[in-house]
Amino acid sequence: MRRFGVIGLLALVILATGCVVLRTCWARLSPSIASVGGKPLHIRLPDDGKTLLQKDKRWASDQLGPSDCTLGSHGCLVTSVAMACTNLGVKLTPKELNERLKKADGFLPQGWVVWNALPKVSDGKLTADYHSKPSHVVMDEALASGAYPVVKYFLLGGIQHWCVIVGKDDEEYLARDPLRDDKEPVPLSALTEKIYAVRVLKKVE
């Protein structure tokens, strides 16, 4: 019996390892662009001088939308969007944004944000542009107009993660990452070599 138990344990380990490998390969094969590039710019958008953290004890245990996850475990996107909203004049904590999105049907079942719900949760002051492919041009134009790109990259193991871009120094984008308690924005290239998705948050014209 012990023999079969060991075999079963080994099978589980192999299966788990295979899942991680497959997820990592999928991440690497997704359309991407380099985290450095585009038009040389020197822009620093307004921000409140601090990074909101998804693991902040004030909201880390809150349920993420209708999903089985929490803000602390999977709330990087909501936290990044909350930072962008605050910088655009609609002050929201991740907790407040999460609750507003719930009431506005702003989540898919797995906890993904429904982008056309942003005007509802910002009293009609903000909107979001969805782009099917990442683009330096889109990011540069957003920054030049005072809008905030939110970008996706992958952590080790193929885990997707989001951060908000708050400026650019030459070809280096500057980011606030909800997993890092940095006083100043960090170079995006210090977080990742590639990005896989871009959303742009901006004021309603």
pLDDT number for residue 30? 73
Closest among 194, 163, 136, 170 to 52, alpha carbons compared: 163
* Contact of 104 with 96, CB cutoff 8 Å: no
DSSP string, 78-141: HHHHHHHHHHTT----HHHHHHHHHHTT-B-TTS-B-GGGHHHHTTTSEEEEEESS--HHHHHH
Q: Which residues sit opposite 202 in a β-bridge?
A: 127
End-to-end CA distance of the chain: 69
Per-residue confidence at 17, pLDDT binned at 50, 70, 90?
A: very low
Q: What 8-state DSSP symbol labels residue 2? A: H
Q: Three-state SS across 148-198?
A: EEEEEEECCCCCEEEEEEEEEEEEEEEEECCCCCCCCCEEHHHCCCEECEE
Q: Where are the domains of the chain?
A: 1-30, 33-203
The domain defined by 33-203 carries CATH number 3.90.70.10: yes
**Least confident span in 41-50, 72-81, 102-111, 162-171:** 41-50
For 174-185, the pLDDT digits (tens) are 999 999 999 999
pLDDT number for residue 48? 75
* Contact of 92 with 194, CB cutoff 8 Å: no
Residues 6+ apart with CB under 8 A from 40: 170, 171
Task: Give mean pLDDT, residues 104-114.
Answer: 95
Q: How far is residue 181's CA from residue 57's CA, in Å, rounded to a whole number? A: 14
**Least confident span in 28-32, 65-69, 113-117:** 28-32
Per-residue confidence at 24, pLDDT binned at 50, 70, 90?
A: very low
pLDDT number for residue 6? 46
For 120-164, the pLDDT digits (tens) are 999 999 999 999 899 999 999 999 999 999 999 999 888 999 999
